[in-house]
Structure 1
Amino acid sequence: MTFQQPSIVESTFKDWKYREYKTSEWKLSRTDAETTEIHADLLANKEIPDPFMDTNERDVQWIGEKDWEYGNEFFVSANAKPLSVHELVFEGLDTFATVYLNNEEILTTDNMFREYRVDVTKYLNFDGANNLRILFKSALHTARALERKHGKLFCFNGESSRVQVRKAQYHFGWDWGPVLITCGPYKPVKLVSYDSYIKDVYFKVDVNKELKASIDIQSDIFTGSSSSTLEIEVKSPSGSVIQTFSSKVDKSDIFSHKFAVEEPDLWYPLGHGKQSLYEFKISLENQVIVKKVGLRKVELVQESFAEQEGSSFYFKVNNIPIYCAGSNWIPAHSMQTLLVDSDYKQLLQLMIDGHQNMVRIWGGGYYEQDIFYDECDRMGILVWQDFMFACGQYPGYPEYLESVSEEAKHQLKRLRNHCSLAIYAGNNEDYQVAEQFNLEWDPTDNSGDYSKSNFPARTLYETIFPKLVSEFCPEIPYHPGSPWGGNGTADPTVGDLHQWNVWHGSQEKYQEWHKLGGRFISEFGMEALPNRKTFEACITDPDELYPQSESVDHHNKADGFERRLALYVIENIKVQGLDFDSWIYATQLMQAECLGYAYRYWRREWRGDGKRYTGGAIVWQINDCWPVTSWAIVDFYKRPKLAYYSVKRESRPIGLGMFRNEKKHTHEQAKPHSTAGPPHDYSQVDYNVDIWGVNSNTVDQPAVLKVDIYNVTSGKKLESLPDQDVVLKSNSSTEFVSAHPIANDQPIVVYSRFVSKEDGSIIASAGDWPQPLKYLKFPGREVKFEVSNGSIKLSSNKPVKGVEILVERDVFLQDNGFDLFPGDEKVVIAEDLKTTDKVTVRYYQQQ
């Protein structure tokens, strides 16, 4: 870098070398890498097998038990030598590091989530080479030593010692991820030399009830011994300059510049308006900071109901209630430094394509990279941000609380300029751990200091974090944990809920989701196998590509998955053979049906002002960190499962929902030979169906409701209900058909759709099928399809369930796993598709 009169010079280190500690030979790291970690380096240099392949994960466990050393040699730039302050900035060291500069110890670290800055002016060699070494102690051994010192604590997932260390908890293994305990300079390390310096900028935005904005630009400035000129320029989203300012700054302080925007171009989440971003340019001498910032007001609304117990839990943005349909996010790789910007962009684009407007960053991974939040700002995805605590009984001794407090301050200041942030939550499921292991938790105790109890981390969740959030980003709501609220963590009437009584817990039938709702469901899910191509990419032996192989089982970390996955498949889906492809399809169809039920039923409870009984549903999970069978709806290689499309259909702005009610005759009404209990309950059952619509838009939607009723087996249409002119009320659900009776002596599927009054096109549609699907028969089905450049057109002669389009190469389809009904032509857009592509179609009970 060259400046005529430099006042700041930044140099980022690359070309790290590594070695096992106390060995003589330095190994080359990845070429030109600014960030690095040991597993990725060993893999790049072919010193270990790929941990993601076959069962190789087992063979690389020794890496986490070793100490490792990273080294670098650098020269101070000639432009930097005259400057007065020289700092080494470590944006992220994983985790227990001792740093040496020219053989002088300058830093020790114990927290991978903190940034460390060290003034190294007195240690630098300005006329020759400087030697930088970082010794990383084994986090596994250190965690176990801390556990011996402080005592064993409880946790779900991973070994118990993990809660002792401020390191990404999923490194110790989770029920969807491998055990890969990494270390290294996983974020950039740089030398910053300066006379004057902008240390931090906070664009404090206040949008009032009238939606007028006031902005306070708070610049934390170091000026040294001489004055400097601070310049500010603000551009509107259209590019016009709306504010300029210049002033001499002659002392180190936080410099504030305030101004108002009477008619701001506000930022809105997906589906509710534009994602408008203002450009802020802050200059101090030759240092220039440019940020894109959205102006918005976000509120967490917890108001009591007139007709139900408890209180709401939903978000308002710029006075508009927002129903949140989205996904949980885990780290997208077990070796985070192997991710590139395009990985984040592609995964978040999948959320946008799937009509998802909220992502929850789960507390067992990382505070994500800047690109993640930048993209959420740009795309309009609200971010639920957990602090990095997950499923554990965490310590509360003074040194630990101090380290976590510094972590929280750094991350709050780093993230607070992102308009996508909607809420901070203190932890993931730590209150559930407290409940399960009978820790000392008295919800009526508001003392604020719980360090003497065996649930000491309450001091973080209920005292330290809310205070820091209020201090550093007061416009963001804070929630002590997830789940949290009401009478315990399972209370469906207050706060958010993790609903795991499907799959975990009592393992309810997924058709019972309507009984398992809450005010905001921030976790729920169902497993399914990924695409066959994903298995072929991580299993080298073709003889292992069958459902029960050791390699396939190794790539599923869920405890008891064999029984639970089989339970839900066999309970619901007719499996046509146990070949690999049939099993993959069966699990994916089951997952898609399961999640579709949940999204559909819970969204019905968004009933308008004063009746927003459910404020959102966030599925576990959108992504994977390696090739694995999991609850993800998009696999590690970004291939959507059928459930991704089911969630997409249920999350679109205009949706149609149906529910089949069952009414059993009482014992007195039953036929003479009926008995009361299963499996010999032969009571007569009457069926009827409810039909409703949902509209996330801020304007009413007129439509025509059309309903056809078919016999599933014959495919014959039995009746059509009279067309009904309807209006889907804005930003709510609207009931249209209540308890319409349907035949109980034959298998009936009800096909409903909202049709445009203008051109007759289908706005939304759905089919309600008899349950369980395994009892149905589909003889004589014929699905025709025609492939064009960029699309596929399909039709059927009878009602067809679960049509899956298979393309030999990876092509993103805008829909998949859908139902087909006679008389409809289904056109699936696939922009990259060519007529030369090999395309096949399969569907449920295909003959």
Structure 2
Amino acid sequence: MAVIEIHPKMKQSSTFSSQTLSGWQWRQSGTGNDAWIACTHDKPTTEIYTDLLDAGRIPDPFVDENEKLVQWVGEKDWEYTCTLKVAADQVSAKRQMLVFDGLDTFATVFLNDTQILESDNMFHVHRVDVSQHLKEGPNTLRILFKSALVAGQTLEKTLGKRACFNGDTSRMHVRKAQYHYGWDWGPTLMTCGPYREIRLETYSMAAVHDVYADAVVADNLSTADVTVSFAADVLSDAVIKATITAPDGATTKLSTILASGAKEGSLSTTLQKPQLWYPLHHGPQVFYTVDVQVLSKDETCVLQSTATRVGIRRVRLVQEPLLDAPGTSFYFEVNNQPVYVSGSNWIPRHSFVTALTAEDYRQSVDECVASHQNMLRVWGGGIYEDDSFYQACDDQGVLVWQDFMFACGVYPCHPDFVVSVVREAQDQVRRLRRFCSVVVWAGNNEDYQVAENLGLEWDQTDNSGDWTSTSFPARTLYEKHLPVVITELCPQVPYHPGSPWGGRNTEDPTVGDIHQWHIWHGRLDPYQKWPELTGRFVSEFGMMALPAKQSIPKFVTDPRQRYPQSAVMDLHNKAEGGERRLAQYVVENIRVSSLSLEDWIYASQLMQAECLSAAIRACRRQWKGRRREYCGGQLVWQINDCWPVASWALIDFYGARKLAFYAVKRQSAPLLIDMTRKYTAVESNTLEALKQKKAHVDVWAANAGLKQHVVDVAVTFFDIQTGRVVRTASLTKTTITANETTEMLQKLKVDDTMAVQAVMRDAETGAVLGRASEWPQPLKHILLASPEDSGVRVTVHNGRLDIEAQVPIKGLEASTANVDVVWGDNGVDVFPGDLYTIDAPGLKKTDAVDVRYYGL
């Protein structure tokens, strides 16, 4: 993020100054009540729902059924005001600019009662010259926010109703965060306000903004051509100097002269042997610092200093023919290294994004890294996220797939809409292009899929570039206007027209990316079918589960409502048919001892964990090396929630990790041993045919790193009820190839009385490098040992938990009342003779730890 400093020795009237507005007050507009209510905070950003809540004017929308009680808020108009105190030297400056980073959404801005701006796009950035309106001393800024719901419905009456999935159809005409209208995991809360910062910038001679260091890395990585570009406002001839400081401290100095009237400028150089930024598990995250100074023509006066940083990397989205398979690959290559992606989709972490802090974003990215995931996809129905989100991804080596903000609908493409969208894209690409973690831009989320489902005109052989007269006009946005913006402003980052997109249709598994929702949505396929459902890149898939048991009382305040089918629990499950689908998958797979809330939570979370494990297992196995990248990655839907809800999230709204979080962590480990149980097909369901049903287990390893490993592998077949070892198999000194999967033991016979464990050890040191387990499917058919015969023993230590068992144990979950405990693993499978240790920072030896496991 750029840092702007005022040079201490210069007069304010000559040098650049920046003042962020705060101290907001608000009121409902048009009520005849002129009283302003002061915000209870002094933050520079705010919005109406949080302010109403802070003032005690509404109940918490996230609690109980209060969402129903606060819908009126989104139907009203609201006003915000603040006082801007301006010093004499600021008023005397030749240029006085108000910069609006984001107004949500239909906003009319008045400065000292003079209208200076009207905006109807939440994602626009505005720079307004207010030199004729500003005065010394206090100035009043007032913003009227019209109801986006009412305004959108008015537009809809004029422009026509357009189809969409999720939310009010009027959202198709409104450039506002689409999830505010409600989604199948989120509430309908139509908020508004100055959700991004507003600043007063003053200067008299020259200033720059939008400083961007574009680095084009040579194919062989030996050099990087760096161009430092910037927007400028030059009122008097100025000198621009830039210093590029490498991670090792080496510096490169550049300079240029800008003549009066210049609106932009650039400086260029070539760096030899650039120090490159790498994603997680592939190398270091290092950064260059770019310091830019604006000086007077005689270089005696520093007018402005800015500093930004850049991670230099070479990114490619590789789509090329494969060996022994139809279609093309779809994977990311960073600095000439193929990167297998194991990641998640990201929705806004809160329905009210001004409630979030930079630390909240960093914590979320830390959770991504803690689960060994290396990509987050910023989904197209939310917002272009806060700088601190991308900053944290840069720091941690987490790749970002960035959607443009279009989701699940048939958007218009009339001239005014195009102008607004193109400006939106330009504003947001300019802002986000400095973050090296962003490695792809995608035109939309599922809009092509909607077009298919509704039978709209989408002729893939029509390459005219203008589809505005068809029933799918927004295709012109995705395939003409948006790629032009990327080409002009951020050509080093690939563009993908949509997600999913590619091939003969959006479900083509051989070209582009797919969203695999035939598990949960669509055909409601069993998750055991995952090996048949992979694609070249699976950018969405998921399974629902309830939030953690400790989270339920936080939003269900009446104990009588704390059961799975209560009215409150139903309101906090937004998926259409969600109860039926969840029940179907649980009942088809998990033995349920009761419908108590705690049992249902465990059953749904274990089922979610099993489903996501099966998905990642199926996808990772297809990363088979050069020209055999049959699957380049998968992105779980979703890592987070925006409010307390039963959803597909790995981490619930209150930050509690579901069992699926740990399953994804295990399956996404950089070095993984895994197994797949495959049943031989039977031609009929006759008793004789079922008796002949057979199964075998394949053992394989996945290596996401760049180093090969020599390992020993031991595979043990256990009788599930007794814990007796039925037989074993092993490999010694086997090489695990770098950055691909390695097949190991094939077609080991197994039957449904057996659970199988594989342990991989370093061949030299004997250290355990990975474990895997395989169980008969579906789990509900397994005959388990009684709890009395399981021999489960848990030993609590400071900072860790040791677990032992006498029979195979499935999905053992540990919990404690100590809220400071962070479980490094949970929901684990434990086998006889193998001590399973869970790291648990914060755990004390004196803590009481409860455990439950499948069948207990």
- State the Cα distance separating 1:679 from its structure 2 match: 9.5
The residue correspondences of 1:334-413 to structure 2 (distance < 5 A) are 334-413=351-430
Matched, 1:451 2:494: no
Distance 2:730 2:605 in 1: 35
- State the Cα distance separating 1:301 from its structure 2 match: 0.4
**Structure 2 residue aligned with 1:737:** 745
TM-score scaled by structure 1? 0.96
Distance 1:369 1:681 in 2: 59
Give the conservation status (yes or no) of the 8 Å contact 1:97–1:110. yes
Distance 1:708 1:246 in 2: 68
Distance 1:505 1:778 in 2: 37
- Provide, for residues 593-635 of structure 1, a one-character-per-residue CA deviation record: whole Å limited to 9, x for no partner: 0000000111000000010000000000000000111000011
Distance 1:235 1:729 in 2: 37
Q: Assess, with a 3 A threshold, how the Cα gap between structure 1 residues 799 and 19 changes in structure 2: closer, same or farther.
A: same
**Structure 1 residue aligned with 2:220:** 210
- State the Cα distance separating 1:286 from its structure 2 match: 3.9
Distance 1:756 1:207 in 2: 37
- State the Cα distance separating 1:70 from its structure 2 match: 0.8
Give the conservation status (yes or no) of the 8 Å contact 2:256–2:267. no
- Provide, for residues 104-152 of structure 1, a one-character-per-residue CA deviation record: whole Å limited to 9, x for no partner: 11111110001111111111122x4212111111000011011111111
1:691 corresponds, among 682, 699, 715, to: 699
1:423 corresponds, among 427, 434, 440, to: 440
The residue correspondences of 1:507-522 to structure 2 (distance < 5 A) are 507-522=524-539
**Structure 1 residue aligned with 2:781:** 775
| Matching residue's letter, 1:546 | Y
- State the Cα distance separating 1:678 from its structure 2 match: 7.5
Distance 1:220 1:162 in 2: 33
Matched, 1:707 2:718: no
Matched, 1:806 2:815: yes
The residue correspondences of 1:72-471 to structure 2 (distance < 5 A) are 72-126=82-136, 128-195=137-204, 196-211=206-221, 212-224=223-235, 226-238=236-248, 240-251=249-260, 252-284=262-294, 285-471=302-488
2:515 corresponds, among 479, 498, 503, to: 498
- State the Cα distance separating 1:12 from its structure 2 match: 1.1
SS at structure 1 position matched to 2:308? strand
- State the Cα distance separating 1:245 from its structure 2 match: 3.0
Distance 1:733 1:147 in 2: 52
Identity %: 46
Distance 2:681 2:380 in 1: 45
SS at structure 2 position matched to 1:123? coil
1:531 corresponds, among 548, 558, 568, to: 548
| Matching residue's letter, 1:550 | A
Distance 2:412 2:84 in 1: 39
SS at structure 2 position matched to 1:92? coil
Name the stretch that deviates more: 799-808 or 783-792: 783-792
Distance 2:780 2:352 in 1: 41
**Structure 2 residue aligned with 1:585:** 602
Q: Assess, with a 3 A threshold, how the Cα gap between structure 1 residues 253 and 189 changes in structure 2: closer, same or farther.
A: closer
SS at structure 2 position matched to 1:274? coil
- State the Cα distance separating 1:681 from its structure 2 match: 6.0
Distance 1:787 1:281 in 2: 52
TM-score scaled by structure 2? 0.95
- State the Cα distance separating 1:757 from its structure 2 match: 1.4
- State the Cα distance separating 1:837 from its structure 2 match: 3.2
Distance 1:33 1:75 in 2: 16
Give the conservation status (yes or no) of the 8 Å contact 1:96–1:139. yes
Distance 1:292 1:8 in 2: 21
Give the conservation status (yes or no) of the 8 Å contact 1:706–1:752. yes
- Provide, for residues 32-73 of structure 1, a one-character-per-residue CA deviation record: whole Å limited to 9, x for no partner: 121011001000111100000101000000000001111112
- Provide, for residues 695-724 of structure 1, a one-character-per-residue CA deviation record: whole Å limited to 9, x for no partner: 111121110010100111222111111443
2:766 corresponds, among 751, 760, 767, to: 760
- Provide, for residues 701-749 of structure 1, a one-character-per-residue CA deviation record: whole Å limited to 9, x for no partner: 110010100111222111111443311111100111121222x4x5111
Distance 1:722 1:188 in 2: 61
Q: Assess, with a 3 A threshold, how the Cα gap between structure 1 residues 832 and 482 changes in structure 2: closer, same or farther.
A: same
| Matching residue's letter, 1:721 | A
| Equivalent pairs, count | 832
Distance 2:682 2:86 in 1: 86
Name the stretch that deviates more: 7-16 or 400-409: 7-16
Any unmatched runs of 5+ in structure 1? 667-675
Distance 1:3 1:98 in 2: 38
Distance 2:199 2:157 in 1: 36
| Matching residue's letter, 2:218 | N
SS at structure 1 position matched to 2:64? coil
Give the conservation status (yes or no) of the 8 Å contact 1:395–1:456. yes
| Matching residue's letter, 1:272 | H
Matched, 1:725 2:733: yes
Distance 2:490 2:851 in 1: 51
- State the Cα distance separating 1:255 from its structure 2 match: 2.3
- State the Cα distance separating 1:472 from its structure 2 match: 0.2
- State the Cα distance separating 1:491 from its structure 2 match: 0.4
- State the Cα distance separating 1:665 from its structure 2 match: 5.0
Name the stretch that deviates more: 276-285 or 591-600: 276-285
Distance 2:689 2:546 in 1: 35
Matched, 1:43 2:60: no
Distance 2:688 2:578 in 1: 30
Q: Assess, with a 3 A threshold, how the Cα gap between structure 1 residues 300 and 664 changes in structure 2: closer, same or farther.
A: closer
| Matching residue's letter, 1:84 | K
- State the Cα distance separating 1:840 from its structure 2 match: 1.5
Q: Assess, with a 3 A threshold, how the Cα gap between structure 1 residues 343 and 678 changes in structure 2: closer, same or farther.
A: farther
Give the conservation status (yes or no) of the 8 Å contact 2:513–2:535. yes
Q: Assess, with a 3 A threshold, how the Cα gap between structure 1 residues 831 and 79 changes in structure 2: closer, same or farther.
A: farther
| Matching residue's letter, 2:482 | F
SS at structure 1 position matched to 2:284? coil
Distance 1:82 1:42 in 2: 39
SS at structure 2 position matched to 1:682? helix
Distance 1:591 1:60 in 2: 32
Distance 1:235 1:825 in 2: 50
Matched, 1:70 2:83: no
The residue correspondences of 1:611-760 to structure 2 (distance < 5 A) are 611-664=628-681, 666=683, 676-677=684-685, 682-742=690-750, 744=751, 747-760=753-766
- State the Cα distance separating 1:324 from its structure 2 match: 0.3
**Structure 1 residue aligned with 2:851:** 841
SS at structure 1 position matched to 2:200? strand
**Structure 2 residue aligned with 1:21:** 29
Q: Assess, with a 3 A threshold, how the Cα gap between structure 1 residues 230 and 370 changes in structure 2: closer, same or farther.
A: same
Distance 1:249 1:797 in 2: 78
Distance 2:9 2:20 in 1: 17
Q: Assess, with a 3 A threshold, how the Cα gap between structure 1 residues 492 and 193 changes in structure 2: closer, same or farther.
A: same
